Chains A and B, each alone.
Chain A
């Protein structure tokens, strides 16, 4: 069943954010081909309803902990597209000072705790952030995103148990895109009903259509109400699909073109656009404005990244310790191979 539409300001905002993510990520793919962006680049094209639906419902001081497929989450959380793009380039002006790249977007002001690239590694972190909020603050929540592949890791199970045991204000969002690299859900999980699996930890666990941004947003509201009311953690599975390969290195040999095409028919941006036009929330011209606005925003972001600065090599070993130790000594000249 499709959820009823919220107010026009909300629906148009949701659509606009999905479009911004799409345009940004398509731009990233081009920039990767031009070797402006390097390393790993994981696109979430097709999955925009999940990041948008959840993150748009958070308060500014709620925290987000995400994976390496986090560009959209960062953008909707409010990090400037220009600073995201500069990070992709590895420029000093990037949101992680250029040190992280596409997989490691961070921003303290927006309580965006990465950009984590060890699968499952950030779930315990989300429990701890929730614990801190619970003990220090009392009203903030933490949203933690991960793929279904992460649910096979021990850290998923340890984190779920701890969160439920301690009633931490954590929203666990499983972005189930059916594949962990080339491994399908069926060949990864003994129980493929992920909400059933999570419910074993004695917390509310729901599934939602991750291609429907309104459904995701509503489920998020419901979860946050429960969390802020002291109800402890919630697990939300969003069923979605990535239209592109896992990363720019992936030859994508493990799924059929047919399957991909079938999912593309459910493109969250296309279907929501149609729905909003039909409901009279927006017209064709309004839609075009959203796309044009996003394109202009990303043009500016790319220009900002291009104009950014490379960090001087002399600063190589900064930010290893907050307080630089006074003991220890650098390698002797001979060992550094300097003459």
Chain B
């Protein structure tokens, strides 16, 4: 039996369940209470669980993310909502210099079980300061785990797994996904945060995507299918640590790969994934690893320019065909 639900509601249910299951869990962030959360994920939860546990914060990203880290050290299990990755830059110091280092600096004495959630991505004409995809910045840092639920089922179940993790978890939610609907598999449960998932099996080429680019990869795969090319689509789900095994096993079978990344091409996740494939599958590759990324420009406001800056389905199809010599 299956059930249709929005990504937003799946996250909402996950939060509700987390608050219910463990008294140590608290949700904090800007406008998580009265406003209902910027993307309405936490709507109504303050009425049910009280303002202490669903805690509005002032505009103080560095302060409340740091406080979340401290609260985790002090024995709570905070879920910190930073409205968007754009504003998380104000908290970068706390995340990179504190959350990611405490376990190591303390010789293993202090772990930081905090979950920090944020929306990411472009596509809504919000212009240069509100459209970043900076997953790669966080995925660069040892000590952090970085996850990106791309399906409603992962939105529903990843949070519990993240809370179960003894280390800091950064969760990226692509802003375009909140309103998306999908089928929630019955009897879902904990997600293995060490594993990528094959969302569509195929034998001709491997397409790696995550978060906001998964649906584009799947759409491209359908189109390729009608041209007789069977693409395997991998949803990375966890961006650090990367599940090399799943990617490599797939490419060993298909001998070709394309990475779809909404981040910029230079020094980003697509470069990292491409390098890993090349390192581990070099003699199995029939073509260079293809990449479809955002153009190297701050995201412009007008729709036609924004769409031109972002990875699109036709570009994924073309990159796959180029790799197939078609």
What residues make up the interface of A, taking CB atoms closer than 8 Å to B? 38-40, 90-91, 98-101, 103-104, 116-120, 149-150, 152-155, 180-183, 187-189, 250-251, 253-254, 310-311, 313, 316-317, 320, 328, 331-339
Contacts and interface: CB of A to CB of B under 8 A. Distances in A.
A320 B298 contact: yes
Given A153-B90, A337-B292, A183 B322 contact: no
B267 to A, nearest CB: 11
B296 A320 contact: yes
A187 B59 contact: no
Contact of B315 (A181, A183, A336): A336
Interface residues of B, number: 54
B2 interface: no
Contact of A313 (B34, B308, B321): B308
B303 to A, nearest CB: 7
Contact of A254 (B35, B266, B293, B298): B35
B127 A180 contact: no
B296 A337 contact: no
A254 B34 contact: yes
Contact of B58 (A183, A250, A313): A183
Contacts of A90: 125, 300-303, 305
A333 to B, nearest CB: 7
B297 interface: yes
11 contacts: A100-B301, A101-B125, A103-B127, A103-B130, A104-B127, A118-B129, A119-B87, A334-B322, A335-B319, A336-B315, A338-B315
A155 B61 CA distance: 11
B203 interface: no
B199 interface: no
Nearest to B323: A334
A119 B31 CA distance: 14
Nearest to A313: B308
A40 B86 CA distance: 15
A154 B305 contact: no
- The interface residues of chain A, by DSSP majority, are classed as loop
Contacts of B295: 316-317
B319 A334 contact: yes
B97 interface: no
A154 B34 contact: no
Given A101-B127, A337-B292, A39 B301 contact: yes
- The interface residues of chain B, by DSSP majority, are classed as mixed
A181 B127 contact: no
Contacts of B35: 181-183, 250, 253-254
A316 B34 contact: no
B284 interface: no
B317 A337 contact: yes
A39 B125 contact: yes
Contact of A120 (B34, B59, B265, B266): B59
B174 interface: no
Contacts of A183: 30-31, 34-35, 56, 58-59
B105 to A, nearest CB: 23
6 A-B pairs with least C-beta separation: A182-B35, A337-B315, A90-B302, A152-B58, A101-B301, A39-B125
Contacts of A328: 266
A189 to B, nearest CB: 7
A153 B63 CA distance: 8
Contacts of A334: 287-288, 290, 319, 322-323
A40 B290 contact: no
B36 interface: yes
Interface in B25-52: 30-31, 33-36, 38
A150 B59 contact: yes
A250 B38 CA distance: 9
Kindly name the residue among B38, B60, B63 whose own CB sees the greatest number of chain A CB atoms within 10 A: B60
B318 A182 contact: no
A320 B266 CA distance: 14
A146 B323 CA distance: 51
A39 B124 contact: yes
B285 interface: no
Contacts of A336: 292, 315, 319
B276 to A, nearest CB: 17
B189 interface: no
Contacts of B8: none
A65 B266 CA distance: 32
Nearest to A185: B58
A117 B58 contact: no
B126 interface: yes
A152 B87 CA distance: 14
A153 B65 CA distance: 13
